[in-house]
């Protein structure tokens, strides 16, 4: 984001010479002149004018006094109101309708931080105004892709720990391939929230959350409480299905629920981050949040339910002018297509046995830095153990030996083609601001109108377990994090 220079006061308007000279024809100047120069005190006109000036002066002083009184009274009232507000937010509010805490975790895929300012979003705005917001967005884990991030949110683990290291990867010990419809437990490590919840004898319900279809521990994706992803199901139907849980007796309402929307990510990939179609998608998401709020209010439970509204990652525009072609490295090294597990925005290369990964990195780096490869300086290749430690992307055999970090907005392809396209992508370094999403917490344990610093989405797991008052599984989040964002118990 650029830094705007704010200027409240413009340059002073020059005063014309005519305005500075006294105008003999000006009535005010004539009157003052008469008062000063007239000596006969008995002149009735002069007396009337003198009295009039005195009256005007008195009225001005009286008006000033009234203004000062109102100003300081208003200031004092505002301070009193602020003190009252702070007092009412000092502790969490007790539940009034529900018998137990209920957390509804909502993901709007690809909701880049800042989208909420593109168009009026009164319903999201209502949650922000009456809840707690990450002021500059939620930080995703690397790689900033859908499945790794959704499962990090659910487990509190970095991808290297929970095993979903990409949307597509190979298990090196078996050669088996993971893709997004693989639901075998062997791929999905760690303990997701829905499993944690049922392990404690509570109820969970999931609606299209990546990984929730997987049978793990006591969680077996129960019928009517676990929906297998189907993008033909309308957003309205998804919201209404979740609302039906609140028609159950209070003791039977699930303690933890998830709700997933694949927008605005779908549009973002097609048109980038700044197209009007993104604005339409954001407006539609806001409408769905409004539908949810209205449904909860009709049931009298809106203030009792904890709503966590977030996204998994952001989005950035890409165009064919920002391309890097692996075939352009041929003078230094040949990178065959079958070495590449993913091209962009995360370049993942797995050389065959007998080919030294370090030699590959050295030769690729030489070519990229030569100045002879188009856009070469916008790709940095690493042995995975040499990646920046902040990425936490090394401790898994599923991560390929060679990882390429691509500059924001650039893409890697195998070879040149005549096709021209512009769109959007994510998956880049999570240090890029464009990869951030949103976080809003609304409910009994969140202060109203509070802003908190940005944080990584691995903290969500401990936040949910703290609200539900259950012991979570070991994870990469900070155990004390909930204390920094939640109000203390009443």
The answer to whether 125 touches 142, Cβ cutoff 8 Å, is: no
Please measure the distance between the N-terminal and C-terminal CA atoms of the chain and give it in whole angstroms.
Answer: 40
Instruction: Find, among 199, 156, 164, the residue nearest to 185 by Cα.
Output: 164
d(CA 119, CA 126): 14
Residues 6+ positions from 312 with CB-CB distance below 8 Å: 107, 109, 110, 140, 146, 149, 150, 153, 437, 457
| Measured CA distances, 354 to 134, 357, 360, 363 (Å) | 48, 9, 12, 16
Instruction: Find, among 405, 287, 454, 310, the residue nearest to 279 by Cα.
Output: 287
Name the active-site residue from 121, 132, 146, 365.
Answer: 146
The CA R_g of the chain, rounded to the nearest whole Å, is 32
Residues 6+ positions from 51 with CB-CB distance below 8 Å: none
Output the CA angle 273-279-281, nearest 5 degrees: 95
Strand partners, 347: 404
Where would I find the H helices in 89-145? 122-129
| Measured CA distances, 474 to 103, 422, 479 (Å) | 20, 42, 10
Known catalytic residue at 121: no
d(CA 174, CA 160): 18
**CB atoms closer than 10 angstroms to residue 417:** 11
Residues in the chain: 490
- What DSSP letter does each residue of 331-382 carry, written as one string? TT----GGGEEE-SSEEEE-PPTTS-HHHHHHHHHHHHTSS-STTGGGEEEE
The answer to whether 473 touches 200, Cβ cutoff 8 Å, is: no
Instruction: Find, among 110, 117, 149, 146, the residue nearest to 456 by Cα.
Output: 149
d(CA 33, CA 41): 15
Which residues are part of the catalytic machinery? 146
């Amino acid at each position: 984001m650029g830094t705007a220079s704010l200027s409240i006061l413009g340059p002073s308007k020059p005063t014309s010479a005519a305005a500075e000279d006294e105008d003999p024809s000006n009535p005010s100047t004539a009157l003052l002149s008469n008062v000063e120069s007239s000596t006969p005190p008995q002149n009735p006109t002069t007396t009337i004018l003198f009295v009039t000036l005195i009256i005007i002066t008195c009225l001005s002083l009286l008006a000033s006094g009234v203004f000062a009184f109102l100003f300081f009274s208003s200031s004092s009232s505002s301070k009193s109101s602020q003190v009252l507000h702070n007092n009412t937010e000092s502790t969490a509010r007790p539940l009034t309708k529900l018998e137990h805490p209920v957390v509804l975790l909502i993901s709007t895929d690809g909701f880049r931080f800042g989208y909420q300012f593109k168009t009026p979003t009164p319903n999201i705005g209502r949650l922000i105004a009456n809840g707690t917001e990450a002021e500059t967005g939620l930080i995703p884990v690397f790689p900033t892709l859908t499945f790794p991030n959704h499962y990090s949110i659910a487990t509190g683990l970095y991808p290297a720990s929970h095993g979903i290291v990409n949307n597509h990867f190979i298990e090196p010990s078996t050669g088996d391939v993971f893709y997004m419809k693989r639901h075998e437990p062997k791929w999905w490590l760690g303990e997701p929230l829905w499993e944690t919840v049922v392990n404690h004898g509570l109820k969970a319900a999931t609606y299209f959350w990546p990984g929730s279809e997987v049978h793990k521990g006591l969680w077996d994706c129960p019928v009517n409480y676990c929906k297998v992803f189907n993008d033909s199901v309308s957003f309205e139907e998804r919201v209404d299905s979740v609302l039906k849980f609140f028609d159950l007796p209070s003791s039977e309402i699930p303690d933890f629920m998830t709700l997933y929307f694949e927008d605005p990510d779908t549009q973002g990939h097609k048109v980038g981050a700044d197209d009007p179609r993104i604005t339409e998608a954001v407006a539609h998401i806001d409408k769905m949040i409004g539908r949810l709020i209205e449904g909860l209010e009709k049931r009298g439970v809106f203030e009792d339910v904890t709503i966590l509204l977030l996204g998994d990652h952001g989005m950035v525009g890409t165009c064919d002018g920002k391309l890097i072609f692996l075939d352009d490295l041929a003078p230094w090294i040949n990178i065959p297509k079958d070495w590449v597990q993913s091209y962009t925005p995360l370049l993942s290369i797995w050389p065959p046995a007998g080919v030294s990964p370090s030699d590959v990195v050295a030769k690729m780096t030489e070519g990229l830095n030569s100045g002879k490869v188009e856009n070469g300086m916008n790709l940095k290749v690493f042995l995975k153990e040499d990646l920046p430690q902040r990425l936490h992307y090394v401790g898994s055999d599923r991560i390929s030996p060679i990882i390429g970090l691509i500059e924001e907005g650039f893409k890697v392809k195998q070879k040149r083609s005549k096709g021209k396209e512009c769109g959007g992508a994510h998956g880049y370094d999570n240090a890029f601001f464009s990869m951030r999403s949103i976080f809003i917490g609304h409910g009994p344990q969140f202060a109203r109108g509070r802003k908190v610093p940005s944080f990584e989405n691995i903290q969500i797991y401990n936040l949910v377990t703290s609200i539900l008052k259950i012991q979570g599984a070991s994870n990469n989040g900070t155990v004390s994090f909930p204390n920094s964002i939640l109000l203390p118990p009443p």
